[in-house]
Amino acid sequence: MKVVLAKNLGFCFGVKRAINIAEEFKNTPTLGPLIHNKKEIDRLQEDFGVGVIDSAELALEESSVIVRTHGIERDKRELLKKRGVEIIDATCPYVTKPQKICEDMSKEGYQIVIFGDIEHPEVKGVMSYSKSTPIVIGSVEELESLEFDQKVALVSQTTKKISNFLKIADHLVKRCSEVRVFNTICNATAQNQDAARELAKESDVVIVVGGKNSSNTKQLLTICKEYTDAYLVEDESEIEKDWFRGKGSCGISAGASTPDWIISKIVKKIEGYQF
């Protein structure tokens, strides 16, 4: 079976950086999973003794803790500091940016509007930096039922689609006298999405590799499904031979937290198929 990789796929800058930090500070636990990829988390545990702690309360018993790529809520960070727990910060710099914007803009009196999933750890962290209660918009459809102040500042979860972000910005510009729009969508996300789209157009089937709780991986799957058959898998064990029967070529895309070693195993398995 012929396999073609997307021009951009897999690890982004922030994930690479976080894994380097975790490998350097071996035997230090992370507060919540470092990235949204269980296999890579398992590897860090086995090879570097980097475990996962589920709550800030448990982290208080440690001498040091690694903050995940998605960041941490402000009050938790302050609690850890106060109790003398050393913080090793693997927050993606692209996530630190909207946190800082929320803090500064809310101080200046702007109402904070965040485009993102309110349950996602990145968004929870960003929200916590606003001095006033922020409005979190999960989808464009929610806009009509919301009311806004005259002066608002808009940021986005780093992994959202720019086209929806622009729809939200347009809505606010029509209703508010000043809108400060901070485009905090991560470039790597956009590049992986563009590459997945091009690949899907030319493939009979696409395998998207990544964590099932990964926001950017789910978006890749949605994009690929617009053009062809597409499946989301976490590793090669989930691959089914039947998906490729009668297909000419298979494309591979992968989320920003998917390591190369998982992608390689999948490619090898699919290339081995003969019909």
Q: Which of 1, 5, 143, 181 binds its own copies (CB under 8 A)?
A: 181
Could you tell me which stretch among 29-37, 47-55, 137-145, 175-183 binds its own copies (CB under 8 A)? 175-183
Backbone φ and ψ for 188, nearest 5 degrees, come out as: -60, -40
Q: By C-beta, is 176 or 250 nearer to its own copies? A: 176
Hunting for tokens 């058959």 — which residue is that? 229
Catalytic residues, by residue number, are: 122
Could you tell me which stretch among 10-18, 125-133, 138-146, 180-188 binds its own copies (CB under 8 A)? 180-188
Q: Which of 53, 173, 197, 236 binds its own copies (CB under 8 A)?
A: 173
| Nearest Cα to Cα of residue 53 among 34, 30, 70 | 30
Q: To the nearest whole angstrom, how small is the minimum distance from the Cβ of residue 230 to its own copies?
A: 26
**What tokens does 120 get?**
């996602």
Q: Which of 43, 74, 161, 180 binds its own copies (CB under 8 A)?
A: 180
Q: Please say whether the beta carbons of 137 and 114 come within 8 A.
A: yes
CA distance 140 to 258: 28
**Residue 182 is a binding residue for its own copies (CB under 8 A):** yes
**Residue 112 is a binding residue for its own copies (CB under 8 A):** no
Hunting for tokens 């409005």 — which residue is that? 135
**Residue 176 is a binding residue for its own copies (CB under 8 A):** yes
Parallel, antiparallel or unpaired: strands 30-31 and 64-67: parallel
User: Which are the contacts of 185, defined by CB distance < 8 A and separation ≥ 6?
Assistant: 156, 158, 159, 160, 161, 162, 165
**Residue 244 is a binding residue for its own copies (CB under 8 A):** no
**153-172: contacts with its own copies (CB under 8 A):** 162, 165-166, 169-170
Q: To the nearest whole angstrom, how small is the minimum distance from the Cβ of residue 168 to its own copies?
A: 10
Map residue 188 onto helix, strand or coil.
helix
Q: Which residues bind its own copies (CB under 8 A)?
A: 162, 165-166, 169-170, 173-174, 176-183
